[in-house]
Amino acid sequence: MYLVIFQTIASTMNNYQALFTTKLSQAKAKDGICRVQNWWSADVQGHSADAGDTFRVRFGKTWADIRITEEGPQRLVWTFTDCYLNLLKDPQEWKNTRVIWELIPAGDGTELTMTHEGLTPALECFEDCRQGWDFFVLSSLRQYLETGKGLPAAGIHARVNLNGELIKGTLYYKQDPAPTLQAGDILIDVKTNAVEEVTGAFAVLDYRPENFDPQLFQGDNYMVISAGEADLGQLQRYFAVNPHA
């Protein structure tokens, strides 16, 4: 098993940056980065390995088009040529920003630095996007390089601030194929949101396979909270919705 031996998060000129060191060689680490569908988005179209390649990642209604504008043994640059970040006031906040991957020899392994140039605190999505990259780079990519199994997502990581307690879940677009759910999961028909925080609901329901149909939700998105992560009645009271909605 490969071991990641160091990780940290930093800021360079206010751009988001993440860093960790892996026992993998530069070539193997870069190959892992390029296998985007194994650690970032479960929905990837196009090619993501060589200079000039273009690919699209999707998370429900959110999507981004990326071109590889630089590629070499120690450096890989992704340029966001277009995007639609549907939860934001400006859905093109990432357009013309760049993700720069730098791979530097470190002993028998590689020091990997990822900088999202243009993702700064001035952007509406900075805090949510920072948390997203923390997960996908420092958890999912790291795990993929270490074990061969990452944590790519089909939906968007979301949360409810329940009187100071953060309840985490996943946001899905109702027109997409439904995820696999289990008894005890909680469904929130999302009415309003502040980026990735759900602030209003049409309904809060327990999952029942016999009557689960996302097309019946009033909102475009719904949030899934895994069984055991929250109390159904408490969420219904918080959002002031009819339990039988």
The residue type at 43:
D
Q: Is the pLDDT of residue 12 over 80?
A: no
Q: How many CB atoms lie within 10 A of CB 3?
A: 12
Q: Which of 7-16, 64-73, 77-86 has the lowest mean pLDDT?
A: 7-16
Q: What predicted TM-score, i.e. pTM, was given to this entire model?
A: 0.85
Chain segment 139-161, per-residue pLDDT in tens: 999 999 999 999 999 899 999 99
Long-range (24+ apart) CB contacts under 8 A made by 228-231 are: 228/184, 229/167, 229/168, 229/169, 229/186, 230/160, 230/162, 230/167, 230/186
Name residues whose C-beta falls within 8 Å of residue 242's C-beta, 6 or more positions apart in sequence. Answer: 203, 236
Name residues whose C-beta falls within 8 Å of residue 127's C-beta, 6 or more positions apart in sequence. Answer: 195
Chain segment 13-64, per-residue pLDDT in tens: 699 999 999 999 999 999 999 999 999 999 999 999 999 999 999 999 999 9
State which H helix or E strand residue 235 sits in.
helix 232-239
| Confidence tier at 9 by pLDDT (50, 70, 90) | low
Q: Is the pLDDT of residue 69 over 70?
A: yes
Q: Is the pLDDT of residue 71 over 50?
A: yes
Q: Reduced to 3 states, what is the DSSP secondary structure of residue 215? A: helix
The residue type at 193:
N
Give the pLDDT of residue 242: 65
